[in-house]
Amino acid sequence: MSHRLLRGVFPPIPTPFSTSDAIDRIALDRNLSWWNKSSLAGYVVLGSNGEAPHLKEREKLTLIEAVRKSAPEDWPLIAGTGLSSTSATIEFTNEAASAGAEFALVLPPSFYRGQMRADVLIEHFRRLADAAAIPIILYNMPANTGIDLDAQATIRLSAHERIVGMKDSSGDVVKLARIRHKADPEFAVLAGSAGFFLPALSVGASGGILALANIAPDLCAAIYGHVRAGEWERAMTVQNRIIDANTAVTRRWGIPALKAAMDDLGLYGGPPRRPLLPFPEALRSELRKTLRAAGILME
């Protein structure tokens, strides 16, 4: 049944910090109440957009508990749990499960990336899956980790009954097609960016974990809905409409821009946690122009 929950659009939600650098629980609840009314399928916490590397363990568990409490009961909660060692990843994954996470999204260990051969990563993920209290979603993000989990390793891992899917942020649609064709039929493939969401769906992806869904949840969900209905021209129109906005809040300006966009929409983005710096005011008008062109910001 796990793969059936991994369909549709999931936002990797940013962590709201107050000006004193504490997690702002009131702002989090306010954001969640807005997202809860959208066409999203669930939530991802402790992803790269959630600034997970900058959070203490207690903060991570607090976030999981808070989101699980405020999210619709039937929306799955996915938590990023990858750490540098296999044992630490197992321990934190099970703590995340106790806090309310239903899936673990796990980056490959990357500090000793020169030794992270395919056989090493396969062993790591299999040991994790054997010991984890919740199903595992592989997280391939070579831009940050320097490791590109190849198609053959992913296909082999898909045979494990507790490894139920992958989020791929590489943008290699040919690789996604191969995985979808060769992996276990119940293995879910999730696009890691709205920039290639439609191409990923066209080769069999079941959904996406999309930063843009934090500020344009219904536009992202519309692409998925049009594909499900066989309305490919309409899906392409929406896909083309959001490309520049997605680039602005991901590869071009990143988390600070995403948080600034949330502020402009009446959500709470707030400051990132240092060493990241707030979005420059000098670029604010350009960001707003891009959001307006996509139909995300209406003022």
What is the average pLDDT across 40-52?
97
Distances (CA, A) of 29 to 36, 63, 71, 151, 297: 10, 11, 9, 38, 22
pLDDT-derived band of residue 67, with 50, 70 and 90 as boundaries? very high
Contact 41, 35 (CB under 8 A): no
The CATH code belonging to domain 2-242 is 3.20.20.70
Domain residue spans of the chain: 2-242
Average predicted confidence (pLDDT) for the chain:
97
Distances (CA, A) of 247 to 37, 112, 175, 184: 25, 30, 22, 32
Q: So what's the pLDDT on residue 3?
A: 67
What is the average pLDDT across 70-84?
97
Contact 180, 189 (CB under 8 A): yes
For residue 235, the cross-strand partners are none
Number of helices and strands in the chain (H, E): 13, 8
Task: Say which of 60, 167, 175, 259 is annotated catalytic.
Answer: 167
Q: So what's the pLDDT on residue 4?
A: 75
Picking from 78, 70, 73, the residue whose alpha carbon sits closest to that of residue 2 is 78
Q: So what's the pLDDT on residue 1?
A: 54
What is the average pLDDT across 45-58?
97
pLDDT tens-digit series, residues 99-137: 999 999 999 999 999 999 999 999 999 999 999 999 999
Query: Is 167 noted as a catalytic residue in this protein?
Result: yes
pLDDT tens-digit series, residues 84-94: 999 999 999 99
Q: How many CB atoms lie within 10 A of CB 206?
A: 21
